[in-house]
Chains A and B, each alone.
Chain A
Amino acid sequence: MALSHLAASASRSSSLLKPLSSALSLRRSISGDNSPLTVETSVPFTSHQCEAPSRSVETNPKELLTFFRDMALMRRMEIAADSLYKAKLIRGFCHLYDGQEAVAVGMEAAITKKDCIITAYRDHCTFVSRGGTLLEVFAELMGRQAGCSKGKGGSMHFYKKDSNFYGGHGIVGAQVPLGCGLAFAQKNSKDETVTFALYGDGAANQGQLFEALNISALWDLPAILVCENNHYGMGTAEWRAAKSPAYYKRGDYVPGLKVDGMDALAVKQACKFAKEHALKNGPIILEMDTYRYHGHSMSDPGSTYRTRDEISGVRQERDPIERIRKLILSHDLATEKELKDVEKEVRKEVDDAIAQAKESPMPEPSELFTNVYAKGLGVESFGADRKEVRATLP
């Protein structure tokens, strides 16, 4: 039954790819320009306790080509991480985001780097969209010094403070109260920024989410809770875990919006709308209807609880990169060959980054004890024996 729903939304999208704006008779260069373009989203938004935004999204060729490149980069990065994991260069947990790239890319297009994003453990692509480099990603995944957390965090702990990316959290649902705390700080500083706290359909059943939502609504915080609904909480389908899988309605008194998460432009429109809403009226919930091609993590084949037909069906009909590719081609913004060249470029970039990351050394043994406490700040303080808290390794 999930498959039919997915197919239905896909058929509607294919009919809307005829260009709606002024036709561009001349082929633009691959870098595109800023001339405005209006595209309709694949499906209309469904709303709860608020007015849905319009289906027509303002964009321009440059943005579409950026979308394509970024999503291709993310896709390539995740596939490469898959191979690295199988080669045992990445160990432990590795949760891949391929299929869901449109959410990261669309959200970034709607906001600034001053807005905060916090997410759970499926954070590689969100980190990249916030400005993280491929080298930092692969080095951190392999536990090397050049990683964004110096190799001490791993796949589930990517952070980028200077672009307000707050991670990267392993415990399901715990990042949502943190996100509301970020929104509280933003409200305090009055700088007209918002926080996007992302969570999955599995985490949507956590109590702390509703606690945090209650407090955010009470205190009027600019918090936007985004449920990335990929329909499976690890191995459990959403209808088996939630009595009411309409996650955008779960906020009750908090307005919600359901968005096609495989359409980057719809995501962009929704996030823009949500930001305006949150700054004026407090929290709002966005439900991104998306899909992950890989299993929950590298140790999950992803096919025991869903059929391969379902996965390939979604890939054929709703793939975010294919959608943007068709959009670009139908609007004559680039040729097939140019897009293929972009993909080749991106592949080379990823390979180079991996090679560089492999050369980065493992952290020094002394790094085991650094950053446990923040030293030398605030009140003068010291550990036992009046020295730094430190032990000597044999």
Chain B
Amino acid sequence: MAAIFQGVGAAAALSSSPSNSFDSKKFVFSPCRSFSVRKGASFAVVRSDGRVNLNPKGRRAQQLISNAVATKSDNAAASSSSKPGHELLLFEALQEGLEEEMERDPRVCVMGEDVGHYGGSYKVTKGLAKKFGDLRVLDTPIAENSFTGMGIGAAMTGLRPVVEGMNMGFLLLAFNQISNNCGMLHYTSGGQFTIPIVIRGPGGVGRQLGAEHSQRLESYFQSIPGIQMVACSTPYNAKGLMKAAIRSENPVIFFEHVLLYNLKERIPDEDYICNLEEAEMVRPGEHVTILTYSRMRYHVMQAAKTLVNKGYDPEVIDIRSLKPFDLYTIGNSVKKTHRVLIVEECMRTGGIGASLIAAITENFNDYLDAPIMCLSSQDVPTPYAGTLEEVTVVQPAQIVTAVEQLCQ
């Protein structure tokens, strides 16, 4: 199967029609870095030997290309437009990624509440139970502590479970298992056991879901040694990161966002993965580096439009990898722009932004022309009232003001 290793995330064109408060204008992202093959990269890289292999789906082995959107030789009758790839929503992209990995490796199994017969509360696991059976798509009782523990125990023997928390906030009940067993067993056993588990679920502030269902757990988990954390934000990187997370031998906590499930994008047909520890260059620029992840990416891009009109040129990076930080991409950006703004949905205290500020200051202090600014959610439980909830998270207008302040 032709598989292309994607170094830089964005597809050539994104048409996003999210269901909620974003403008439905098109954002065009162009990859700013061409992909270069590292010597000795063992994972399947397409070789440019000029041979054309037409497989049943009509795909063609391409030369090494920087974006993963291949051109099809024959017209795929199914797609209505002449554009390559296929269009789907973010939850469908996650489902596709899961399904492909479950087909590829019989050790992958899914456990969570209502993932099987019900199809998943956000439809991410829809159809999987019918296809793979009850022993690979397991409906659990409401017992996060124990089924997360069971997933970790199964992972110790070599199975690759994908544990779903119906809402990330419920995983607080499994904190002991995630911190002590998931994160630390590889170390305390002297390397004997690896825990190739993926713990995923939606988190973040939604539409008036109330305080307990609007938690951002990335700040609580970030100190746990031994785990990796990623946050997806587009259908493209959702599928890519999901596949990479399942194939990784390390435990990965995969953060999705409740409001992003209905994002639509055209993604490539062929098999691709996204690098777990790499950040995504969303919009290259010169004046200021804006670091963001998950839903705030869209608020930032909205603000970016206003900023461009006002004459600024922000560089927007979706950090994607929350643990460890991709200090390489971030550092290169800081060296170019000398100004950093972090926009996140975490609370200010002890959040991802706080750690990022520390990391950037420690490593790149000499390159900064101004103190790092960090826009985070307010340190309050998320209120139910709509107007209050809006003020709890960072809004595009605040981002514009912050950039103007930073660039004075």
Binding site for B on A (CB under 8 A): 116, 118, 147-154, 157, 159-161, 166-171, 174, 176-182, 184-188, 207-208, 211-212, 214-215, 218-219, 370-374, 377-386, 389
Nearest chain B CB to A243 CB, angstrom units: 22
Q: Chain B 175-218, CB within 8 Å of chain A: the 1/0 string?
A: 01100110001111111111010000000000000000000000
CA distance A212 to B148 in the complex (A): 10
Question: Which chain A positions have C-beta within 8 A of B331?
Answer: 385
Nearest chain B CB to A155 CB, angstrom units: 11
Q: Does residue B157 face the partner (Cβ distance < 8 Å to A)?
A: yes
Question: Which chain A positions have C-beta within 8 A of B249?
Answer: 374, 377-378
Q: List 6 A-B contacts (CB under 8 A).
A: A152-B188, A153-B190, A169-B180, A177-B146, A211-B147, A371-B191
From B150, B159, B277, contact of A178 by CB (8 A): B150
Question: Which chain B positions have C-beta within 8 A of A377?
Answer: 194, 248-249
Nearest chain B CB to A344 CB, angstrom units: 33
Highest count of chain B CB atoms <10 Å: which of A157, A185, A186: A185
Highest count of chain B CB atoms <10 Å: which of A149, A211, A370, A385: A211
Q: Does residue B110 face the partner (Cβ distance < 8 Å to A)?
A: no
Question: Which chain A positions have C-beta within 8 A of B196?
Answer: 378
Question: Which chain B positions have C-beta within 8 A of A374?
Answer: 186, 191, 194, 249-250
Interface pair A379/B244, CB less than 8 Å apart = yes
CA distance A10 to B139 in the complex (A): 48
Binding site for A on B (CB under 8 A): 5, 38, 41-43, 109, 135, 138, 140-141, 143, 145-159, 176-177, 180-181, 185-194, 196, 225-226, 228, 244, 247-250, 273, 275-277, 324-328, 331
Given contacts A167-B185, A178-B181, A211-B146, list 18 more A-B pairs with CB under 8 A. Answer: A149-B190, A152-B188, A169-B181, A174-B180, A177-B150, A181-B156, A182-B157, A211-B147, A214-B141, A215-B147, A371-B191, A372-B187, A372-B226, A373-B250, A380-B5, A380-B41, A384-B277, A384-B324
Interface pair A178/B152, CB less than 8 Å apart = yes
With contacts A184-B154, A378-B249 known, is A152 near B187, CB below 8 A?
yes
Nearest chain A CB to B341 CB, angstrom units: 20
Nearest chain A CB to B243 CB, angstrom units: 8
Interface pair B194/A215, CB less than 8 Å apart = no
5 shortest A-B CB distances, which residue pairs? A181-B153, A177-B149, A211-B146, A181-B150, A211-B143
From B43, B109, B145, contact of A379 by CB (8 A): B43
Residue of B nearest to A148 (CB): B190
Nearest chain B CB to A144 CB, angstrom units: 12
Residue of B nearest to A153 (CB): B188
Highest count of chain B CB atoms <10 Å: which of A152, A154, A160, A187: A152
With contacts A184-B154, A215-B150, A384-B324 known, is A174 near B177, CB below 8 A?
yes
Interface pair A159/B277, CB less than 8 Å apart = no
Interface pair A177/B153, CB less than 8 Å apart = yes
Question: Which chain B positions have C-beta within 8 A of A166?
Answer: 153, 156, 193
Residue of A nearest to B186 (CB): A371
Residue of B nearest to A387 (CB): B328
CA distance A176 to B181 in the complex (A): 12
Nearest chain A CB to B267 CB, angstrom units: 18
Nearest chain B CB to A254 CB, angstrom units: 14
CA distance A373 to B250 in the complex (A): 6
Interface pair B146/A215, CB less than 8 Å apart = yes
Nearest chain A CB to B191 CB, angstrom units: 4
Residue of A nearest to B327 (CB): A384
CA distance A245 to B273 in the complex (A): 53
CA distance A169 to B149 in the complex (A): 12
CA distance A174 to B249 in the complex (A): 22
From A148, A185, A372, contact of B157 by CB (8 A): A185
Nearest chain B CB to A140 CB, angstrom units: 9
From B43, B155, B156, B194, contact of A380 by CB (8 A): B43
CA distance A161 to B185 in the complex (A): 12
Question: Which chain B positions have C-beta within 8 A of A187?
Answer: 135
Question: Which chain A positions have C-beta within 8 A of B189?
Answer: 149, 153, 157, 159, 161, 167-168
Question: Which chain A positions have C-beta within 8 A of B156?
Answer: 166, 178, 181-182
Highest count of chain B CB atoms <10 Å: which of A161, A170, A181: A181
CA distance A219 to B192 in the complex (A): 28
Interface pair B141/A185, CB less than 8 Å apart = no
Nearest chain B CB to A365 CB, angstrom units: 15
CA distance A161 to B156 in the complex (A): 9
Interface pair A383/B277, CB less than 8 Å apart = yes
With contacts A180-B153, A185-B153 known, is A212 near B146, CB below 8 A?
yes
CA distance A186 to B180 in the complex (A): 23
CA distance A370 to B42 in the complex (A): 22
From A161, A169, A181, contact of B154 by CB (8 A): A181
Interface pair A379/B247, CB less than 8 Å apart = yes
Nearest chain B CB to A101 CB, angstrom units: 24
Residue of B nearest to A184 (CB): B154
Question: Which chain B positions have C-beta within 8 A of A179?
Answer: 153
Nearest chain A CB to B38 CB, angstrom units: 8
Question: Which chain A positions have C-beta within 8 A of B159?
Answer: 184-185, 188
Nearest chain A CB to B298 CB, angstrom units: 26
Residue of B nearest to A213 (CB): B146
From B140, B141, B154, B185, contact of A182 by CB (8 A): B154
CA distance A161 to B190 in the complex (A): 11
Residue of A nearest to B147 (CB): A215
Highest count of chain B CB atoms <10 Å: which of A168, A187, A372, A381: A381
Residue of A nearest to B180 (CB): A171
Interface pair B135/A157, CB less than 8 Å apart = no
Residue of A nearest to B5 (CB): A380
From A208, A381, A385, contact of B276 by CB (8 A): A381
CA distance A159 to B176 in the complex (A): 19
Question: Which chain B positions have C-beta within 8 A of A218?
Answer: 141
CA distance A382 to B99 in the complex (A): 26
Question: Which chain B positions have C-beta within 8 A of A215?
Answer: 140-141, 143, 146-147, 150
Question: Which chain B positions have C-beta within 8 A of A381?
Answer: 244, 248, 275-277
Question: Which chain B positions have C-beta within 8 A of A168?
Answer: 188-189
Interface pair A181/B190, CB less than 8 Å apart = no
Highest count of chain B CB atoms <10 Å: which of A147, A153, A157, A379: A379
Residue of B nearest to A116 (CB): B157
Interface pair B186/A373, CB less than 8 Å apart = yes
CA distance A44 to B340 in the complex (A): 74
Interface pair B145/A207, CB less than 8 Å apart = yes
Interface pair B248/A378, CB less than 8 Å apart = yes
